[in-house]
Every structure is written in C-alpha cells, then in structure tokens.
Amino acid sequence: MRRCSLSAFSFSFLILTLLATSACGRDESIKRSKGVIVTQDLLFATDTQISHGDVVPFSYLIAFKDDAGSPSLARSILQMQQGLQTMLQNTTPVSAQKTIARLNLTYPGHSFGQDRKVDAHPLFNSELNTPEEYTHLAEVQFVDEASAERQIKDWYAAKKIVFAEPNYKRSTQSAAEDQIIKNFKTNTTTPWLNEVSFVDTIEKIASTGAKSSPLIAVMDSGVDVQHPNLKDAIFVNEGGQNKQCTGDIYGCNTTVAKKDVLGNGDVFPTGTSAFGTACSGQGQCEHGTHVAGLIGARGSADFTGMCPYCKILVVKVVEVETTGDVETFPIKDSSILAGLAYISGFKSGGQPLVRLINASFGKFESSRSVELFIKALKNFGRGTLLVAAAGNEDTMKRQFPAGFDDVLAVSNVMSSTDEPKKSVSSNFGMWVDIAAPGDGDCSGGAEGILSTVPGGDSRCLSGTSMASPIVTGIGGLVLSLEPDLTAAELENRLIQTANPSKLYQDGINDGYRPNMKGAGLVPLLGSGVVNALTATNPTLQTSAVLIAQRPDSVRAGCGVLGGSRDGFGSSLLLIFPALVSGARFIRKFKRKVR
C-alpha cells in the first residue's frame, strides 16, 4: 500500500538533528568496563576475558598506518614491513611481534594485487579518486596488560595505528555455553526455551563462536545492575562519558530531563532508592529488571536470558506520581523522546552502537514525534530496531509504539512447544508482526516466565512485556553472528523465520487465523512464534512464511489517529479496512507499562 512520506527537507532536517545530537557521543573516548570495552577504533581485553582465558594474554592485533601514500616516503612493501618490525623491536613494552598482512582499507579487493580496476557499484569506483589507504596488520605481544593499553593509546594518539583489538581465542564451546547446555538441555521447568529452540541455537553458535557483543537498550522502569545474574550483562560507561546525560555510568534516567541535559544516571528500579535493593511493593519496581533478565541474564541454573553475548544499556522512562494514597507510573512521551535521543548519541564510525531497543510498554494514542524519531533511528546507518509489546487488553486496537510501521510488534502466546495458544490477555491484529512465549507454567507452579527481579532474586511474570524481550534477545543472537545486518534486514529475518506451523494449526488459535476469500489465512498473532535456530540459520526454515500486512498503518503526516483500528469488531476490520482506518477515537487512555 502506498504510504505518505515526509518531505525530503523535513526528514533531512531530522537526520541532521540526530547527527548533531550524536556529536555528544563517545567516538573519541576509550571506555574500560567489567564487560566489553567499546570505542571507535580501540578494543581492550577485560579482566573477565583474561581470567576466563578468552584472549591470548597481553596479545593484540594492531593495524599500523601505511605511509606509502606520501611520495617522499614511498618504499617497497618489504621495506615498510622491515621498518615496522624495527620500530616494534625497539619498543620496550613489546616482547614479540609478527607482521601478518598489508590490507587496503579503502578497496579491500585491492589488498593482494596490483590491479586497480574496480567493477563494483559506481559509487565506489576509482572515478571518485578516493585516496587508497593501506594498513599493516600485525600481532603484537606485550609484557603485561597495563603496558599494552598505555602503548596502544600512545600509538593511537600519535596517529600511528588505525585500530587495535585483543587476540581472542576461539573454541568449539565456551564455559558459558557449556553451562547453558548443561542446565537447560533437558530442563522441563523452562518450556519457553524449547519453544524458541534456544539451547539448540547456543549449541550451534558454540561450534563457531559469536562475532560480536550487540548493545541493546532497555527502555523501562530501571534495572538492578548489581543483580548477580545481570551485572556481567550491563554495559558500563565509566565516568559518564555521554555528555548528554549526567553521570550515566549504567545508562540514563530521562524522567528528570532538563533543557540542558537528557537526564541523570539514577537508573535504579522505580520504587527503590538504590541498586541491589528488593522491591517493597509491586507497582513497576520489578518490571525493568525482569525484562533485562529475559534479554541478558546469565549464570543461573534456573533461568537464562536469550542473548548471553549481548550488553544492556539501561534507559529509565518510568516515573512515580502520587495522588493521595494512590501511586501511578506514567511514561511521558517527552521521557521516551529523551531516551531515544540519548540512545542516538552512542555511535562509532558513523554507525549506531545500540542495535536494538526493547519497549515493553504502550498506550492507545499515537505520537507523531515518537514515530518520527523511531523511523530516523531505524534508518540511520545500519539502523536501530525497536521491538515492542503489543499490549494486554485482548483487543485488536493498536498499542503504541508497537503499532508503528517501523516497530516490531510482539504478541504473547503460552510457553508450550506443542500448543502455543494465544495468552488470554494478549492484543492481536494484522498489525502484529511476531509471537513469543510470555505466559504459561513457570517455576514452582506459578504462571509466566522466570527472570531476574531487584535485590538478587527471581520471579515469574507474564504478559506481552515478557514476550517482547524474548524477541529482542533473539534479535541480539542474530546480530552476534551477523553484526552488519541492517535494522530492516534483522526485522525481516525475525519475521520470516518465525514458526507458524504450531501457532496456526487446527484447534490451537482458530479464532486468530480467519480465512478470507481470495486472501487465504490472515494471521492475527504475527508470522509465527519467534525461533532462534532458524533466525540464526535461515536455511533451516521449512515452514511457509505468513506475514500480516498492515492495511491501516499509521503514517506520519497523514492525519490518521493512533488506536483507531478496531472499534467495529474483527470482521469489519478485515472486510472494511478503509472504513476502520478512517474512524477516529477520542477516548484517552493513560499510558501504562505492559
């Protein structure tokens, strides 16, 4: 269906605004944390990686700059390599070194030959006269880790190197993967793991190794970053280097945004006053920590996150308002926008560092500002994909942000491999993209999905809020193997590799798969149940793909009110989409965490 679009000027202005905002990011900085250290060009081994034997001790792969571009310094490749070796031999902290190869950074295909013809896309051909940049890749062994970091930083400051990274050791299976397989291969108390083929996926990844540690933002009610099963998954921004947010070591609390800053670093769970503190009441205190655990929890024999390779950036958007004795937990659009702006400030080499955002909240009203920002993030560089809960009102009415075209909307089904029935509360409709387990039998006879809660404990919670981070975590698994996928490619991968066979089999969800004359089956719970194994190995997909179209999509600038999709019942929605799309509902609903 044809979509309304912003003018080129308006969209360009928004992108320029985002880029200006991003300028306060951390491209030039070096961050050391207990987890992965992320910079534009420098990556250092962490204490955990060293102690676990995941890297060759004090060994780095370093790309040294090639000075052959200067006519006065033009020399043979052999002469340059000999000069590099001499320099390294005379560097005190270096105990050994080995030159590996000379590589062309501008045109990789030129690295191993003298032919300068380019048959690639016209944008990349030599007619642009782009200067070719070469680098000498070398393995450098230092006397200790401190000397390695100090020397590499000195070389980088002197513009002698292009990048540096640890000399990782790959194995058929790491200790973390061993633990997951041992704990959950035959575990019957975590049926949702079997439903999404999680352990089989980890076994397969263990044979090759993950290539990256994707960064995922959790926009929610805050996270207990000291939780023993979460602390190693939290992205640590030591020193609060993102200047848009004050003291943002673990992330940003955008509920306190002011005109000059996007917030502060107080991202402990709503309802508590510090990390490591258990919730005194229900409210929304447990919500963000539970969601974060479904994405990245590790080290427990009872539960696990979907992406043990991912890092989590905490963005707190839930606040507390008290009227008399009544507490409410609103999420203001201004807090969401400040959170998205904060996320946009994390970039490296012109690419977004945050690749996925989980939003387990929603309301029935649309926001053009929020939609526009989400679209801009998705289309900046490789893009950032937002995954959102469809909501828990058992209605076809669109929830937002899940209902936006550029968001992956997730419905909730029971955690059963054989009978993934729609959860009683889950919203549904042609606007839903994919289903995931978020309800069902849990530990100790409770219902829901088991995950982390503040104070070092775990608890079963249910809802589309739990289904959404399962999809987000599996998206992180895909990016850990294919970090260069765009946000749109990742979204399509998840949708097209979801398993529809059980979800839409006879007798399971009959009321959510109507057959329309001439159109066939119309899926109202998404294309199928998310599946980690086929998402990471799409060649294994054998089921026919079912994708719900969005005939009544909300479009920026088109004057269509959010949440105006289903007041006339499912049959009229399917038969008269234009009529339903034009309906305008003016009832206002309070935004609430799902």
Q: Where are the alpha helices (DSSP H) in 299-455?
A: 333-344, 368-378
pLDDT score at 69: 45
Q: Return the C-alpha torsion angle 38, 44, 50, 56, nearest 10.
A: 130
| CA–CA distance, 376 with 358 (Å, rounded to integer) | 16
| CA–CA distance, 40 with 473 (Å, rounded to integer) | 24
pLDDT < 70 positions in the chain: 1-40, 51-53, 67-77, 109, 111-130, 169-175, 239-241, 282-283, 326-327, 518-519, 547-594
Which residues in 142-168 are b (16+ Cβ under 10 Å) and which e? Answer: beebebbbebbeebbeeeebbbbbbbb
pLDDT score at 174: 57
| CA–CA distance, 133 with 389 (Å, rounded to integer) | 46
Residue carrying structure tokens 């089921």: 543
Q: Name the fold adopted by 47-168.
A: Alpha-Beta Plaits (3.30.70)
| Continuous segment of H or E residues that includes residue 292 | helix 287-296
Among candidates 213, 184, 94, which has minimal Cα distance to 477?
Answer: 213
Which residues in 195-233 are b (16+ Cβ under 10 Å) and which e? Answer: bbbbbbbbebbbeebbebbbbbbbbbbbbbbbbebbbbb
CB atoms within 10 A of CB 140: 26
Is the whole model's pTM more than 0.85, yes or no? no
Task: Assess whether the region 47-168 and the region 186-483 belong to the same CATH fold.
Answer: no
Helix (H, G, I), strand (E, B) or coil at 166: strand
pLDDT score at 83: 81
pLDDT score at 461: 94
* 186-483 maps to CATH 3.40.50.200: yes
Q: Where are the domains of the chain?
A: 47-168, 186-483
Give the chain's radius of gyration (CA, Å).
Answer: 25
